[in-house]
Structure 1
Amino acid sequence: MIRTTLFLLLGLFASTSAFAQATQYPLTIQSCNRQVTFNKAPTHALSHDINMTQMMLALGLRQRMVGYSGVSGWKAVTPELRKELEGLPELASKYPSVETLLNANVDFFFAGWDYGMRVGGDLTPQTLAPLDIPVYELTESCAFVMKRPAASLDDTYNDLRNLGRIFDVQDRAEQLIGQMQQRIAVVQQQLPAQRPRVFLYDSGEDRAMTSGRLGMPQALIDAAGGRNVLDDIEASWTRVNWESVVERNPEVIVIVDYGEISAAQKQAFLEQHPALQSVAAIRNKRFVVIPYVGATPSLENVEAIEAIAAGLHDT
């Protein structure tokens, strides 16, 4: 993974696209159901969560960041990404406060709904607007505040393009998008017609934390040639009863690796759960593990798709 991440950062693909036009400020960007105007490129940016922080770093924006938040408190960072974060301060291990942003003189906050912000919470675009702190919302997370179609890889591309425009690094953004698209195209050229039934397991014992059609795992499973067994649920990250999993009988289970409980422990829990013994994926021990950063909108979506495709089709 570190080789791939460095590959993206250095932009070594020879087939990267033409130069984009430089940003003209003031610039107005669509963010969920809002429009946000930037009079200049931010210089004291704060990103929340590892996936959004990774996007900022890959775009070469470290020098325009005061730090990041919401990473160490969830144990969601891989060793490779930890190395990339060296020297960049974490301003809050879980959720930053309004005071955190003010004390750091933040002039741009990149976060999402259920990724650092909660509807009706203290830290939202509405609470930060009077403080002149513009917020750009993670596109996939917009499902929490507006009606949207199913999640797709275009959500990740949209965020990269918008960040490229906001910070006037459009060439780098298009380069990263082109690299992702090339690798995903290679995966999809090799997919068989059969689409195995897939259940994504994030966490939870009494009920399962998983993803409906509005969460990024929907797009990953689709791109890898599978079918999310919860693709009829109009929800992003959500909880379901185990009975629903049994009824839909997934052939493969994708486990999200992060937090205090390891992926191996999650798999053992599923294998030993009395209610799941009839599920095909449990009987045949078909599991795929992806990291949190790959399960959420990020550059690591490529690695996640490659891993899921290999697990679904034994490639």
Structure 2
Amino acid sequence: MKHLLTALLAAAPLPALAFPVTVQSCNREVTFDAPPQAAVSNDVNLTEMMLALGLSDHMIGYTGISGWRTLDETLREGVAELPELSPRYPSREVLIGAGADFYFAGWNYGLRVGGEVTPETLEPYGIKVYELTESCIHIMDKPKISMEDMYNDLLNLGRIFGVEDRATALVEGYRAELAAYLETLPPLDNPPRVFVYDSGEDAPFTAGRYAMPTAIIEAAGGVNIMDDLEKSWAEIGWETVIERNPEVIIIVNYGDVTADQKIAFLEGNPAFANIPAVMNDRYVVLEYVEATPGPRNIAAIRKVAEALRAE
């Protein structure tokens, strides 16, 4: 994948798609008369989508990273010339003051239902919004999450910025890489039961059927024990986790509580002692940027697939 990204980013600009173009963004159609020239992305995963498509020259900054989690070296290098306009969710004034003409965000990824920054509140200022597909469940019905949601965002960004050929090549590369890898894996007799532990001690915050880890787990050959939770990310009770008896636990690593601390909490609580994943020390750690929609989902599937097949 690194070789593919390097080749794409180093390639000469591809011919621009004829404008205007219209893309579907959640329950809206958004028309662009020309590629945005002053784009802002929110959060690490959305920013990496922009960088994977070689769109930094169209960006004036990013938001919502340092206030939540540390930039790793890969992303730090990619945004080296860009300012962070806000450490967490930006205000409307921040985006307007920066001269933004495009905001790539999502519901609970820089947008809040009924909040100050939404597609409707930014429209009068000439700032068009494209919403992360995974996040659309917060405002509309949508199918269960799949890898197609992430691919859809890359392809739509390609159309918006006039680099559709580049986006298509990137997505086809991801598909081919993933298919070739999965063909090398030994089959599983039964899909292992997997629990996603994001955070929380009194009650765990986890991934439901509309959150990206469900797609990652299924692609790797497992099943999310909260597959029937009709939400993306949500808080549940520990009783449900104990009852559903996961064989593997995915730890999402970010924020002030480390993955090691989360594992120590699980192993130190007698109530979890008989959960197979805890008994057999079967954990897989995904960084936040791997567990949310973006280019690193491919590596995340590899990690989970290996964990599901480990003795």
Q: TM-score range by the shorter chain?
A: over 0.9
Which amino acid is 2:187 matched to? P
Q: How does 1:194-205 map to 2 (within 5 A)?
A: 194-205=190-201
Give the CA deviation at 1:188.
2.4
Aligned match of 1:159: 153
Give the CA deviation at 1:174.
1.2
Aligned match of 1:314: 310
Give the CA deviation at 1:180.
1.1
Which one of the candidate residues 10, 18, 27 is aligned to 1:24? 18
Q: Is residue 45 from structure 1 mapped to residue 39 from structure 2 by the alignment?
A: yes
Q: Which whole-Å deviations, capped at 9, do the CAs of 1:203-238 have from their partners, x for residues lacking one? A: 111111110000011100000000000001111011
Which amino acid is 1:223 matched to? A
Which one of the candidate residues 237, 249, 254 is aligned to 1:258? 254
Q: Is residue 123 from structure 1 mapped to residue 150 from structure 2 by the alignment?
A: no
Give the CA deviation at 1:59.
0.7
Give the CA deviation at 1:9.
3.7
Quick check: 1:187–1:309 contact (8 Å CA) kept in 2?
Answer: no
Quick check: 1:9–1:58 contact (8 Å CA) kept in 2?
Answer: no
Aligned CA distance change for structure 1 residues 116 and 232 (closer, same or farther; 3 Å)? same
Which amino acid is 2:255 matched to? G
Which one of the candidate residues 123, 128, 134 is aligned to 2:128? 134
Give the CA deviation at 1:297.
0.6
Give the CA deviation at 1:87.
1.9
Aligned match of 2:187: 192
Q: Which whole-Å deviations, capped at 9, do the CAs of 1:218-269 have from their partners, x for residues lacking one? A: 1000000000000011110111111110010000001111111111111111
Aligned CA distance change for structure 1 residues 156 and 296 (closer, same or farther; 3 Å)? same
How far, CA to CA, are the matches of 1:260 and 1:183 in structure 2? 34
Which one of the candidate residues 283, 289, 294 is aligned to 1:287? 283
Aligned match of 1:17: none
Q: Which whole-Å deviations, capped at 9, do the CAs of 1:173-205 have from their partners, x for residues lacking one? A: 112111211221123222413210000111111
How far, CA to CA, are the matches of 1:227 and 1:110 in structure 2? 30
Which one of the candidate residues 267, 270, 274 is aligned to 2:266? 270
Which one of the candidate residues 27, 30, 33 is aligned to 2:27? 33
Aligned match of 1:225: 221
Count, aligned residues: 306
Q: Is residue 10 from structure 1 mapped to residue 7 from structure 2 by the alignment?
A: yes
Q: Which whole-Å deviations, capped at 9, do the CAs of 1:53-95 have from their partners, x for residues lacking one? A: 0010111111110010000111153232222221211100011
Provide TM-score, normalisation by structure 1.
0.93
Task: Could you tell me which runs of 5 or more consecutive residues in structure 1 were left unpaired when the two chains were aligned.
Answer: 13-19
Give the CA deviation at 1:10.
2.4
Aligned match of 1:82: 76
Q: How much is the aligned-residue C-alpha RMSD, in angstroms? A: 1.7
Give the percent of matched residue pairs that are identical in Structure 1 and Structure 2: 51
Quick check: 1:32–1:142 contact (8 Å CA) kept in 2?
Answer: yes
Quick check: 1:257–1:292 contact (8 Å CA) kept in 2?
Answer: yes
Task: Could you tell me which runs of 5 or more consecutive residues in structure 2 were left unpaired when the two chains were aligned.
Answer: none
Quick check: 1:52–1:111 contact (8 Å CA) kept in 2?
Answer: yes
Quick check: 2:37–2:59 contact (8 Å CA) kept in 1?
Answer: yes
Quick check: 1:32–1:137 contact (8 Å CA) kept in 2?
Answer: yes
SS of equivalent to 1:72: coil
